[in-house]
Structure 1
Amino acid sequence: MHSWFFDENWRAGMPEYTVKLGYSWLIEEGVDVAWYPWVNNRVMLPKHQFFIWLVAQNRLLTQDRLLRMGIIQHNRCFLCGGAEEDLNHLFFSCPFSRQCLTMLKDWLQVGIPCHEVLDWWLQFRARSLLKKHILAAALAQMMYLIWRARNCCRMEYVVPHPVRIIKQVKGMLTMRMRVSPIIVNHRVEEWLRNVGLSCN
């Protein structure tokens, strides 16, 4: 048994023991990560949270990773065929993805930078955290659908139209706003109404 189990110093300065304090002492202090607020989002579907976690950890099996592993010999984007595929190209630089992004930002009436995968979250400023979470959920859904489109193109040589992807994003957000009632302020309520979403 570890010696720290009997160490009395762990509770020095604490008026009384609580499970929370004991656990915090055991794990010490965690490390903040930039992607955590994006993933910790109740508007987002759990599968999209996991997907974004994979993206943030660079764990998707994109062509550049497969090439480095020696699994494939050539690296070409399946969606455009004109550039090498990595995370930033696939989700932000590929003409297909840029068209999806343009349609998404026009619909949601917001600017979404086309740079690094997580830059938009760190750079975007919104008066409402809820609005930021809704935008994060929309972008996560779109990225998930782009990944599915990429895989479909790889296996079946068929690419869905960007309009279809944005339509699916709208459907997901509409469903989430209805099944997870959220209290919003007047400004966010007006924005939701303008983009065709509702909390009721």
Structure 2
Amino acid sequence: MFEDQWRQTNCDYTVKVGYNWIVDDGIDVTWYPWIKNRLLLPKHNFFICLVAHNRLLSQDRLVRMQIATCNRCLLCDDGEENIDHLFFQCSYSQQCVRLIEDWLQICLPLQGIIDWWLHLRERSLLKKQVVATAIAQLMYLIWHARNRCRLEYVLPSPASLFKQVKETLLINLRGRKLVIGANATREWINCVCPNCI
């Protein structure tokens, strides 16, 4: 069947042409540029993909799989733990996000990961990458805090998560050559991440 369809294209076969013919135009994924961010660590990239595809084993999924019996949020004990609640509605997560917002001088919508990425589209590339990296790191650390709470009954403070995000991001920025365009971006980077440029 594929051979007959390929013959109708009248193209010389190469792996690249064959792959593009099978894949076609693909699916437009609005959050793809976020994971293409060169400041993100690979583990954060992978984690954002899991979140975007709703593949984390949150309490609601564990209950559906009959692995857990209670689907209450482990971080705030107020509401059903699912991805939207865990990262965007949970009072613990909101405290963490407020600390990031104050530090990076931004305001993020509390609606979902796709909304966060779309909100970042209006910023300079470097600013977008820095904010997206901070958000991805924070989400990763919130997930780890949730797992610690579930397994060790220990919940780190939002301030300790914020401190980890800030330290990791500053180390990451200092280790790279930054391309800074506008003066406004330069001033913002100097304010947020001193000694990075």
Q: TM-score, normalised by structure 2?
A: 0.90
The alpha carbon displacement at 1:9 in A equals: 2.5
Q: Name the CA distance, whole Å, in 1 between partners of 2:137 and 2:79.
A: 24
Paired residues of 1:112 and 1:120 also in contact (CA < 8 A): yes
- Sort the Cα spacing of 1:127 and 1:80 in 2 relative to 1 into closer, same or farther, 3 A: closer
Q: Is 1:188–2:189 an aligned residue pair?
A: no
Aligned pair partner of 1:167 in 156, 163, 167: 163
Residue among 77, 86, 90 paired with 1:90: 86
Q: 1:22 to 1:43 in 2, by over 3 A?
A: same
Shift in CA distance, 187/6, structure 1 to aligned 2, threshold 3 Å: same
Q: What displacement does 1:118 show?
A: 1.9
Contact 2:72-2:81 at 8 Å conserved across structures: yes
Runs of 4+ in 1 over 4 A off after TM superposition: 16-22
Alpha carbons 1:64, 1:85 under 8 Å: kept: yes
Residues 126 and 179 in structure 2, CA contact (< 8 A), matched pair in contact too? no
Identify the residue that residue 27 of structure 2 maps to in structure 1: 31
Compute the RMSD of aligned alpha carbons: 2.2
Q: Secondary structure at the match of 1:61?
A: coil
- C-alpha distance in 2, partners of 1:157/1:10? 64
Which residue is equivalent to 1:7?
Answer: 7
Pairwise mapping of residues 46-65 of structure 1 onto structure 2 (< 5 A)?
A: 46-65=42-61
Q: Deviations over 1:41-98 (max 9, x none)?
A: 1111110000000000100000011111122221111111121111111111111111
Alpha-carbon distance between aligned partners in 2 of 1:67 and 1:22, rounded to the nearest angstrom: 43
Amino acid at match of 2:160: R
- Paired residues, number: 196
75-84 or 23-32: bigger deviation = 23-32
**Counterparts of 1:199 and 1:132, CA distance in 2:** 16
182 and 20 in structure 1: CA distance in 2 versus 1, 3 angstrom threshold: farther
Any stretches of 5+ residues in structure 1 without a counterpart?
Answer: none
Distance across 1 between alignment mates of 2:24 and 2:100: 41
Does residue 44 of the first structure (1) align with residue 40 of the second (2)?
Answer: yes
Structure 1 residue aligned with 2:63: 67
> How far is the alpha carbon of 1:27 from its aligned partner?
2.6
Identity within the alignment, %: 50
- CA distance 1:19–1:108, shift in 2 (3 Å): same
- Mapping 1:103-122, distance limit 5 Å: 103-122=99-118
| Secondary structure of 1:118 counterpart | helix
Judged with a 3 Å threshold, the aligned counterparts in structure 2 of structure 1 residues 111 and 83 are, in CA distance, closer, same or farther, namely: same
Q: Distance in 2 between matches of 1:128 and 1:117?
A: 19
TM-score (norm 1): 0.88
The answer (yes or no) to whether the contact 1:67–1:75 under 8 Å persists in 2 is yes
